Structures are given as C-alpha cells and as structure tokens.
Amino acid sequence: MSTIFTKIIAGEIPGRFVWADEVCVAFATIEPHTDGHVLVVPRAEVDSYVDAPDDVVAHLAVVAKRIGATQVRVFDAPRAGLVVAGYGVDHLHLHVLPIRCEEDLSFSSARHPEASELDAAMERLRTGLIEDGWGGFVPAQMDSAALA
C-alpha cells in the first residue's frame, strides 16, 4: 500500500517541493515548527531509517545538509536542525528546519499556518537553493506537477 508521501511524490496529493532528484525529494510539512521546515523523503517506500540502504541514508544526509545550509542563510537562523523520528507516516523522512533553540525541534512546537504562509516560506527556500548553486535540483514549479 502506498503511503501519503508516495502519493505526494506521484502528484496524487498536492505538495510544495523545493528539491527533487533521482533518489529523493524535499517538500514542506503542513505542520512546520519554523518557517522553512521541510521533509526529505526517499522516492522508494522505506519504512524506517534503520531499514534503508546505506547509500540512500547517505544521500538523504547530504541533501539535508545542503538544504539546512540554505535554511540557515535564508531564514537567518543560527543552526539547521535534523530530526528522524519515524512516526506519523510509515515512510522514512528527515525533518530539516532552521532552528533558534532546542524547543524548535520539539513536535509540540508544530504550527498550522495558512497556505499562503507555507507557499511564501517555500518560495524563499527555493530561491535560496538556486542562489546557492542547487538550481538543478529545484523543480521548475513548486507543485508536484513539476516532477512528472
């Protein structure tokens, strides 16, 4: 059975994409802890972090690092945070977010912003990734239609 993330990647459910390559994608979470919070998700359905092949884990880590560096600059944050919790959706995903304090990493800090606020944050991140030289991985459009 396909996960909600597989459906987002396939364009069956809308998503706000900032990164796409042959191994993974990154898109906005609908419950961000901070502006710019994204999920880095492998295209292949892998249930959990410890079940993933080493090369996939390594690739996800590199992509998360690149996105995190851009988040720090674009959102003027002192750090980028990375969380691999494994709950909510049974499809491996890394939370990558600009953080100002440890509380930003807590799932109790999740917000429910308006769609326009999510769109604006993702557009800032997309622009930043292009400025940082990663434009080849930024989909032409923010929505999943660009992945087809």
Answer whether 97's CB lies under 8 Å from 34's CB. yes
Tokens of 113: 């912003």
**What pTM did the predictor assign?**
0.94
Q: How many whole angstroms separate alpha carbon 119 and alpha carbon 123?
A: 6
Catalytically annotated residue among 33, 93, 95, 112:
93
Q: Is 40 helix (H, G, I), strand (E, B) or coil?
A: strand
Mean pLDDT split into 10-residue runs, the chain, 148 residues: 91 95 97 97 95 97 98 98 91 97 91 94 98 96 66
Say how far residue 98 (Cα) sits from the centre of its chain.
12
pLDDT tens for 24-42 read: 999 999 999 999 999 999 9
- The Cα-based distances of 90 to 26, 44, 107, 128 in angstroms read 16, 12, 17, 30
Active site (annotated) includes residue 93: yes
